[in-house]
Amino acid sequence: MDNPVFDPQNLDSPDLYLNRELSLLEFQFRVLDEARDPTNPLLERVKFLAIVGSNLEEFFMVRVGGLKMQKETGVFELPPDGLTPSQQLAEIRKVAQKLMEKAETVWREELLPALKENGIYVLDYHELTPKQRENVNAYFHEIIYPVLTPLAYDPGHPFPHISNLSLNLAVMVRGKNNVKRFARIKVPPSLPQLVPIKRSSGSTRKDGTSPKKHYFVWIDQVIQANLAHLFPGMEVLESHTFHVTRNSDMEIQELEALDLLDLIEESVRKRRFGAVTRLMIHPNMSPEIRKILIENLKVEPSEIYELNGPLVLSNLFELPRIDRYDLKDKPFFPAIPEALKKEPLEDENLFHAIRQKDILLHHPYDSFNPVIDFLRAASRDPHVLAIKQTLYRVGKDSPVVHALLEAQRDYGKQVAVLVELKARFDEESNIGWAKILEQEGVHVIYGLLGLKTHSKVALVVRREGNHIRRYIHLSTGNYNHITANIYEDIGMFTCDEEIGADATDLFNYLTGYASRDTYRKLLVAPINLRQRFEALIRQEIAHQKSGKQGYLLFKMNALVDKPMIRLLYEASQAGVKIDLIVRGICCLRPGIPGISENITVRSIVGRFLEHSRIYYFHNAGEEIIYMGSADLMPRNLNQRVEVLFPVEDPQMIRTIRDEILETYLKDNVKARIMQPDGSYKRLKPQPGEPIINAQETFIARRREAQGEHG
C-alpha cells in the first residue's frame, strides 16, 4: 500500500489493521536479524537461525494449516484487515519464500564462513578428505545403517506415510529387469543430524589454551553417499532430500466428548496425518520424483518451497551444544530477592517473608527456585491444608509437579491441579503428568469446555492460629523450570486477602460449577477482563480531556484484538500518549496522522524471550499496574481463562515503572521501532547517547546486587 489516505472518522477501515499472519512473519525477520548481528556471540547467532526454522515449522503447522482448512471449507470470518484465507495464503507464500531465502543466505554467506574461522566446520560430503570419508562411512555402517528402513512404492506397496516435520530421501533405483522404482528413506530423527567427524587441537590461544576444532557433515548426505548398501543388486539413479510440514491445527469438538483425556489423545494421533502445508525440496530434484511427491502428498505448487541450503534449519540447534563457551553468551547466576534471602528458605521463613510484603520476581534475572521452594514448603508445612494450582506448560521432570506429588503422597495434603490438556504441542507431556497426578490421588481437572485455561496461579491455604490465611503466587509465565531460565517473565507472591478470595473463587469456577460475574481485584477472562480493561483505557481518555495528561504503557507478546486496537486509536486521537512494547504480532499501525500519531510501538528481540505482560495506566498520578497471562488477542480475551493481577505496593509499582518498563523504553541496542506500514527500524545509539541493552542492564544490576551481598 503506497501512502494510503486514512479517514480519522472511520476507525473500522481495514487499512488501519495489519494482517496477523504477515505480522508474525515480520517478527521472524527480526529474529533473523539477530542471527546476522555480529555483536552476538557466534553460536548464539546460529541458535537464532535455528529459532527461525523452528518458528516457521510451527507457523506452517498451525497458522497456514488453519487458513488452508478455512479455504477448503469456506467457513471463515474475515479478519480486521479484510483479507480472505486465499489472499492471506498468497501473501504468506511471497513473504515466507523471501524469509527462507534470506535465512539460507545468512547461513551460507555469513555464519558458515564465521564458524570456519573459529574452527567449526560444517562440511558437505564432497568436501571431506579421504580419511574423513572413511571415518564417516564407518559411522554409517555401525550407527546409521541399522536404523534405516527403505520403503518401496510400487504396485505391491502403497506410497508410504510421510510423517510431519520429517526429513526424507526420495530415491530412484533400477533393477536387473531395467524397471525404475521409487523408494523413500526417512532420515532417523533420533540420531545427530550433524554427524561429528573428528576433533583436533587448533592453534594456541593467547591465554595458552588450545581450542578444539569441530568437524560435521549432514546426516542425509552421509546416507546418500552410502545408498548402494541399502539397495544391493540395484542401480541407484538419483536421490533427493525433501522435508514435509503437516497441518497440526486440529479442531477439537469438546462438546461431543464424553472423556476429554481420550479426546485429546486421539487428536494428537490424528495430527500426524494432517494435510501437507509445506513441501521443501532442492531445485535440482528431477521432474519425475517431483511429480511422484506432488501427486501422493497432494500438494499445490504454491505449497512447494525450493532452497539450496539445509531444508531443516531447526537442526542447527545441535551446534550451540558443543563445548565452545567462548562463542556463547556469558553465563550468569539468577539472584534471590532480598526478602527471600533468610536461611533456610523454607516453611515458616518463606511464609513469614510473604506476610511482610508482596514479593516481586523478575525472571530469569531472579531465580525461579523460590517458586519451587514455595510449593515444597507448602507440601511439608503441617499448617498447610490445601494447594491448588494451574499448569499449562511444565516440561519434563518438573520439580513443580514433584512438589505437588510429594504434598499428596508423603504429607496427605489436599491438592487440586488444573492441567490444561489443550496446550498446543504440550498435550502429550500434560497427559502424562495428569495421569501420574491422578494415580497419586491428586484432584486433577482438565479445564473448561470450550476454553483453554492459560492463567498462572498457585494458591496455598494455611491455618494460622484460629484463622485461615491464603498465600498466592501469580505470574505472567508458565510453571516450567527450564523456560524460566530463558523466558523473561514476572511473578508475585502475596497473601492479600481479597486476591486470596478471588483465587479461591477462580479455582471453584475451574473445578466446579461456581460462576461469578465479578471479582474483587483480579481481572479474569472471559468474565470481566475485557470490560474492566476497556474501562481503564476510557478512564485515561477522560483524564486527558480534563487536562491530566493521559498515558498508557503496555508490554505484551501480541496485539491483535480489533476492539482494543480501535480503543487505542480513540485514546491517541484524544491526545493520550501511548507506548507499546510488543514482542511479536502487532496489528495496530502507529504514527498515522490524526489517528495514531501519539502511539509508538517497539519490539525487543534479544538473548531472552520477552514474555511478560505488563499494563500500566498513569491514572492522573494514581498509577495502576496489572500483570498476568493475557495478551490483547481475541483468543485471550474471549476463549481462554486468563488472569491479570494488580500491583498495589507503591515500591513495587516504582520498581516496575522505573527499573523495568523505563529500561525497555531506553533500549537502543535490541529495540526496533515499528513503522506505519508494519516494517521495523532498529534503533541505534545517537552520538553521546549511553548504550542501553535492556536485558544486559537487568543482568548487570543483579550481578552488582549479588556482589554487594557477598
Active centre residues (catalytic): 454
Of 158, 140, 136, 139, nearest to 148 by C-alpha is: 140
Distance CA 12, CA 14 (A): 6
In sequence order, which residues have a C-beta less than 8 Å from that of residue 577 and are 6 or more positions away? 549, 550, 551, 552, 598
Contact present, 418 and 453 (Cβ < 8 Å): yes
Q: Which three cell numbers stand for residue 676?
A: 506505519
Distance CA 64, CA 93 (A): 10
Q: Which three cell numbers stand for residue 390?
A: 494451574
Distance CA 691, CA 685 (A): 6
Distance CA 228, CA 239 (A): 11
Q: Which three-class secondary structure string do you get for 142-164?
A: HHHHHHCCCEEEECCECCCCCCC
Q: Which three cell numbers stand for residue 244?
A: 514435509
User: Torsion angle of alpha carbons 568, 573, 576, 582, nearest 10°?
Assistant: 30
In sequence order, which residues have a C-beta less than 8 Å from that of residue 321 and are 6 or more positions away? none
**Coarse DSSP helix, strand, coil percentages of the chain, rounded to the nearest 5 percent:** 40, 25, 35
Distance CA 81, CA 20 (A): 9
Report the phi/psi class of residue 388: left, alpha or beta, with left for phi > 0 and alpha for psi in -120 to 50: beta
Element (H, E) at 270: helix 260-271
Q: Which three cell numbers stand for residue 170?
A: 526420495
Distance CA 45, CA 39 (A): 9
Contact present, 503 and 472 (Cβ < 8 Å): yes
Element (H, E) at 360: strand 359-363
Element (H, E) at 695: helix 694-708
User: Torsion angle of alpha carbons 264, 299, 184, 158, nearest 10°?
Assistant: 80
Contact present, 660 and 362 (Cβ < 8 Å): yes
Distance CA 577, CA 588 (A): 15
